[in-house]
Structure 1
């Protein structure tokens, strides 16, 4: 088995650990991957997710996402995860910069990125811009649940506009 295959296999095992709620085991496997190859960017993304979502250590999560972007800038998953963290932290300028880059990454789900723009603008009270981006998310998907969520987000923004 070659080096990369071994790393990918360990990453898959860490993913299963995460799904099964075995966060310490997953963390150990991911750190082992990085010991074997500090340039394997996907492992930084998965560790960042654990630190953000499971351990609530946002700064550590952010550092790990940045390392993933540096090592594997074409890895779509890090854009989804990091954008949610930046949104949680209210770092709008950094988030907009990340989304502007993400929308051009091959293999990225554009409707997900348009939705993240919508959330960002809605949280800033820029409701017309939010509606415009939720509309792009709706028109860019073939997934009925994504379409329904986008329609719901547009309706929510229109209700907020009535209150202004």
Structure 2
């Protein structure tokens, strides 16, 4: 019953976001957190709202980290937080988060290895990046994801070759 109430609040917040009433969505989500402070999906939604609509990266990061703490197997906050770290070139933070995620059973290992590849690519370590991208391909079961990762490998090989000349 209580879970239904929280899920209803999440739906209401989504509707508020659709009509661009971001502050109403924020009030709804904060109200849900008042009632259930450890509900990971609410923290993830609030982080998502702060990341993409209200644009408060500090609050977004805080809520994504709470979502991960309260439900480490929930993939969404890892995805959003990693995107935020990549957008802000915070590769050390991304690598640290992926190290923690790697220890959690049930988290998408392909996603983790792909992000490791991105951190190494960004720091110019193309051979290490290729190694992690290959590990990501091995772990994925989605052909589209595998094709995307293969293009990352191709890009790193090109960059590595270009560096030689």
- Pair in the same fold by TM > 0.5: yes
2:85 pairs with 1:76: no
2:111 alignment partner in structure 1: 112
Output the CA distance in 2 between the equivalents of 1:67 and 1:76: 13
Whether the 8 Å contact between 2:44 and 2:67 is mirrored in structure 1 is yes
Whether the 8 Å contact between 2:73 and 2:107 is mirrored in structure 1 is no
Q: Which moved more, 1:29-38 or 1:101-110?
A: 101-110
Output the CA distance in 2 between the equivalents of 1:9 and 1:106: 29
Output the CA distance in 2 between the equivalents of 1:94 and 1:29: 30
List 4+ stretches of structure 1 deviating above 6 A.
none
Q: TM-score of the superposition, structure 1-length normalised?
A: 0.85
In structure 2, list runs of 5 or more residues that go unmatched: none
In structure 1, list runs of 5 or more residues that go unmatched: none
Aligned to 2:140, what secondary structure does the other structure show? coil
Q: CA deviation at 1:17?
A: 5.0
2:40 alignment partner in structure 1: 41
How many residues are matched? 162
Output the CA distance in 2 between the equivalents of 1:21 and 1:106: 37
Could you say what the CA RMSD is over the residues aligned between the two structures, in angstroms?
2.1
Q: TM-score of the superposition, structure 2-length normalised?
A: 0.85
1:153 alignment partner in structure 2: 152
